[in-house]
Homo-oligomer: A and B are copies of this chain.
Amino acid sequence: MTGQTKCEQCPLRLHDVFLKVDDEQLGFIARFKTGELVVDPGATILLEENNSPHLYTILDGWAFRHKQLEDGRRQILNFALPGDLIGLQAAILSEMQHSVTALTRATLCVFQRDKIWTLFQEFPELSFSMTWLAAREEQMLDGHLLSLGQRTALERTAYYILHLYDRAAALGLAGNNALCAPFSKGHLAEAMGITAVHASRTIRKLHERALIRWTDDTIIILDRDRLQALASFESDPAMRRPMI
């Protein structure tokens, strides 16, 4: 492993949301990791159709997965935070049907896709973790699908803010009802499947109802109970999770 951050001293892994791995697994991960990638905000990490030989774990920073129609309409599928695995579809299905773009300056651990088979053969725990991560992404997408299909723009906005707040908070990136948002309102609109104009109207409504305050790059949840009720949001039980 050639990157600057040694897996054995990974600062992210110290966080207690992540399950501990034994030394043997950690050793494999260290060998699996072939480098580190640092990207600027807005940089493309993975491009649809463009079959990348890499698999990544976000070590630091935010990114987002997105997909577009021929005419340019774009949908943000999900945001990706530290600890999230990126490029699994390409690695497993050998076909990437979406792109990934960095939202902030981000650091990524780079894994060689062709070693993934060794992982499955020699490390059942890590194979399980990989499936776990895929199943969890699926679960998040299920939630977003419910949101896009059934919630109104107002409910959707409330839901999405809570969703992101909770994910960030689990990593210590948000707390005290304050989320330092690295994304623009336009990004949020794209994730919710509404126009930026309508997102603006909708966010204003949440302000007027004194549910949130969004100034500069910080979203403050003023009344979580009412926000949750509006969104009919159910927070995920706190749960430790694997990280590769």
Contacts and interface: CB of A to CB of B under 8 A. Distances in A.
B143 A93 contact: no
B148 A149 contact: yes
B134 A71 contact: no
Interface in A60-93: 65, 67-71, 73-75, 77, 88-89, 92-93
Given A149-B148, A193-B150, A232-B71, A77 B135 contact: no
A19 interface: no
A97 interface: yes
B127 A232 contact: no
A146 B92 contact: no
A123 to B, nearest CB: 9
Given A127-B120, A131-B134, A74 B193 contact: no
A145 B142 contact: no
A58 B145 CA distance: 23
Contacts of A69: 146, 150-151, 232
Nearest to A138: B138
Contacts of A93: 132, 135-136, 139, 239
A143 B97 contact: yes
Contact of A138 (B117, B137, B237): B137
Contact of A144 (B137, B145, B192, B232): B145
Interface of A: 65, 67-71, 73-75, 77, 88-89, 92-93, 95, 97-98, 117, 120-121, 124-125, 127-128, 130-132, 134-139, 141-146, 148-151, 190, 192-193, 232, 237, 239
9 contacts: A67-B143, A70-B232, A93-B135, A97-B139, A97-B143, A98-B142, A131-B131, A134-B135, A141-B142
